[in-house]
Chain A
Amino acid sequence: MNDENVRQFLETEIADLPVGSAEDPLNFVDEVVVILNRWITTFDEEIGLDKPAYSCFVNCDRVRQIAETHKGFSHKEYFRDDTPQDFLGKVYLCSPTLQSVFARPVVASSIDDLTREIAALDLSTQAFIVFNAASRQAFWRSASGADLVPIQLDGGVDQLNSADFDEELKRFYIEYTATPQGWVKPWKNAKKLLTKDNLEHEIRDYLSIFLKLKHKKWVLVTRESYEPTGRADLKIYFILERVSFFLELKVFRVSDSDTVKLGKQGVAQAHAYRIANDESGVAYACCYDARATNSEIEELKDFAASMEVRYRRYFVYRSTGDFQRSFIP
């Protein structure tokens, strides 16, 4: 391959790189979505009411041992390469790479039936994906998450330019973190202003998958990206524009002794990741604000502006009513 061919090869391959390190369960979600999209494209037909419509995929650390401890699972050879017609009506135990997959039939008429099946297999603590072929819908749940989150199938088509990234961050905020019902379910107890303990990590994971699955062809999303100056929560590389964005995510809580200091730390971290890489890159400090009042922190805003870091504050409302009222002047 000459340089031009290699460059073209890289543009395609970079978009397919995994989000995280070797065993990161988010990679598993991405792998399964590839399989689901391939199946949907190959068998683009209506599912009759008499046919199975559901299937689910469970990420297993040592899949062979787990499959051996349950009855009725058979090895699906070449699962990674093939697109079998008899794909539905099964529960799949998968290695994170989908190189080794075991399946057994399952009778399910709802997604709840599938989650019950996973619980019966004692695998509820694993990341999994449920798929309804009739409605072309899929949901995933992380190993630590409590709720199913929708997956955009057939995604990756929407081009994302760096100029539109702010809009996309805002969309994520509204769908995932703005209210107690957002997909991240940010609150442990909204009345007492208690957020989930690992909210930063959950936001990071959901944002990774949100961007990756929606704009797969256009961006390389790297979670916990190691930079010479520290570990960026997220690195977004816009493939065609060849520009990198570095994101540091923070949660402001009422329990923080010094919110300004925490915010400045986030701004400084984002700045440090950028300068260690590409000076033309862009640094974001995204702060999810779970304090009692929705008020701007001018000192932080000025500090970020002085560092040329894009500081964004997203207020986490305690109820959908509060969120709706925020639009009334």
Chain B
Amino acid sequence: MSEIDLTQIRARVWVLLAVEACDRAGLSPIGKTRFHRMIFLSNCLAELYEATPPAKRVLKYKRGPFYPDVQWQLDRLSAMGLVRVEHINIAEDVHGPWMEADYSITETGIHTTQTIRRAPVGKSTGLYIDELVFAFGRLATRRLDQIALSELNYAAPGIAEGALITFEDRESNLALRKTSDFERLAPGALTRRFREQLQIYLRYIEKENAA
């Protein structure tokens, strides 16, 4: 009998909850590139909610943040009938061959997430994912695909293409250092206000992206 891999289950739950939240936030169907970038943002800020993200490391890739493990989970969830894949397009661009696709939740997926959200781990992760996805959905549509590239950890000077970005240490996570700055500069409004810190951080990098 095979052992249950908790890391895999957590990652799958995270991805499924995110796809489902996209449906409610009006981000559905969500393109593969945008989804990976949104997951990257969810990894950066997870510790604000003491959530355990699916991957604490990401490679600074030529196409922006991309997680092979998350892609595997997406494919697996679509094979299970919980996530729908549409508009698959395999083409070659300046970076080489690439597959794009759009993802959305299925009816079965909705029922499954409802069950997951009733469990303690699903409830707390779901709360964080909802706040992150809805805050992402409240950014300007034309910037949604770009803002992850201005994320402070990703755009930090000295992080070259191919370098590994990790979120294992809170102190070295520039996103969390920035939210601490927000708290320090507006304590009355933002002390222990993790939802607000998350929203302001996304707007901060949106503004950086626009500059």
Contact = CB atoms under 8 A, between A and B. Distances in A.
Which bracket fits the contact residues of B? 35 or more
Contact of A97 (B134, B185, B189, B190): B134
A124 B23 CA distance: 21
Interface string B87-122: 000000000000000001000000000000000000
A22 B141 contact: no
A101 to B, nearest CB: 8
Interface stretch (B1-9, B47-55, B199-207): B199-207
Contacts of A239: 189
Interface stretch (A12-20, A183-191, A254-262): A12-20
A315 B55 CA distance: 56
B137 A18 contact: no
Nearest to B107: A65
Contacts of A61: 24
A6 B23 contact: no
Contacts of B133: 22
A237 B134 CA distance: 23
A257 B27 CA distance: 49
Main secondary structure of the interface of A (DSSP, over half): loop
A278 B131 contact: no
Contact of A81 (B27, B137, B141, B181): B141
Contacts of A114: none
B196 to A, nearest CB: 5
A108 B140 CA distance: 30
Interface in A227-266: 228, 237, 239, 242-244
Interface of A: 3, 6-7, 9-11, 13-14, 16-18, 21-23, 31, 61-64, 77-81, 94-101, 220, 222, 228, 237, 239, 242-244, 277-278, 281
10 A-B pairs with least C-beta separation: A95-B26, A100-B26, A97-B137, A22-B134, A99-B26, A22-B130, A99-B137, A10-B186, A237-B189, A242-B188
27 contacts: A6-B181, A10-B189, A13-B203, A13-B204, A14-B200, A21-B131, A21-B195, A23-B130, A64-B28, A77-B141, A79-B141, A80-B141, A81-B140, A81-B142, A94-B26, A95-B25, A96-B24, A99-B27, A99-B141, A100-B27, A222-B193, A239-B189, A242-B186, A244-B189, A277-B191, A278-B188, A281-B188
